Amino acid sequence: MSKVPNSRKWHRSLTIAGGGRNLMDPRQRIDQALERALGRTTAPGAPPLLAQAMRHAVFPGGGRFRPRLTLGVALACGDDAPELTDAAAVAIEMLHCASLVHDDLPCFDDADMRRGQPSVHKAFGEPLAVLAGDGLILLSFQNLAEAAALHPQRLGTLVSLVADAVGVPNGIVAGQAWESEPEVEINDYQRAKTAALFAAATMAGAAAAGGVAADWRILGERLGEAYQVADDLRDVASDPETLGKPVGQDAALGRPNAVAQFGVAGAVGRLKGLIDEAVTSIPDCAGAQALRALIRKESESFLPQALASYAA
């Protein structure tokens, strides 16, 4: 259930931008890398139900938008260490999945469904859901460390990037914890809950390929903010089947929401502005032009159909 259509086109073009080094469809490349990484869960001595719960959290998956960004930037930077690129993309996606598993727990959203199937705690019980989330966080780092064997000097940056994006003070865990505070500032909250991992996704792609991570921060941050604003718009515009999760959830839970703050037209304007800034920020490199065009094209699909008239 991808939130981003036309993904096949995006993949093919990025593959070409990357010099044709890896002819595999990027979605396939990401899923195969995730599959390999999950191999540890069924190694001798591993508890079988935990393995099933961790797999359930990762497959079939959503749009894989974040790891596709990692791959896209790594390809634009030359992708000279494909195993490390894969591990970076896997870490980004697994950390995202872990956050979804824990967010769905009864003490948070108490969500019955996720990505069109029962949430992990509904399918496997709460203990295995807590452990599956923990296990995925750890697996991200186990996998990164192993993949960095040939490029040890790139590991520190990668570990810092992905761990900071999920931890304190400004990552997903911190963002989620703001919901336990009496007051929350919408920009801090959304930056931590969404933009941080998007920024890590682009920067990790660069770092895995030996590029300069910081040059790719704005691209990820702006796309992450745009994704969050689009999610807020979807929350008011979509029906439950399209989304795969209950509609109006943010309002029901009293969460900060860009539509509530700026109105629909204001939120659409903000979304477009963020995408412009994202595209403009792409640094000059071999694949820059192609990446700019693709991101602009992909981002059009952020806006729900029902709100297309606002985009005029």
Q: List interacting residues with a copy of itself (CB under 8 A).
A: 40-51, 54, 98, 102, 105, 107-108, 124-128, 130-131, 133-135, 137-139, 141-142, 144-146, 148-149, 152-153, 155-157, 159-160, 163-164, 166-171, 173-174, 176-181, 188, 192
Nearer to a copy of itself, 51 or 233 (CB): 51
Exposure of 156 by Cβ count < 10 A (0-12 exposed, 13-18 middle, 19+ buried)? exposed
User: Is 66 or 102 the residue whose CB approaches a copy of itself more closely?
Assistant: 102
* Residue 112: both structure tokens together: 């019955």
Based on CB atoms, which residue is closest to a copy of itself, 16 or 149?
A: 149
Residue for token pair 């718009």: 233
Longest dimension (CA), the chain: 58
- Residue 66: CB minimum distance to a copy of itself, A: 17
Pick between residue 29 and residue 193 the one whose CB is nearest to a copy of itself. 193
CB of residue 158 vs a copy of itself: minimum separation in angstroms? 8
Q: How far is the CB of 153 from a copy of itself (least distance, A)?
A: 5
Termini Cα distance of the chain: 27
3-state secondary structure 88-136: HHHHHHHHHHHHHHHHCCCCCCCCCEECCEECHHHHHCHHHHHHHHHHH
Pairwise CA distance, residues 139 & 137, whole Å: 6
With 0-12 / 13-18 / 19 or more C-beta atoms within 10 angstroms meaning exposed / middle / buried, residue 252 is exposed
Nearest distance from C-beta of residue 176 to a copy of itself, angstroms = 6
Q: For the CB of residue 58, give the shortest distance to a copy of itself in the complex, in Å.
A: 13
Q: Which is nearer to a copy of itself, 130 or 260 (CB)?
A: 130
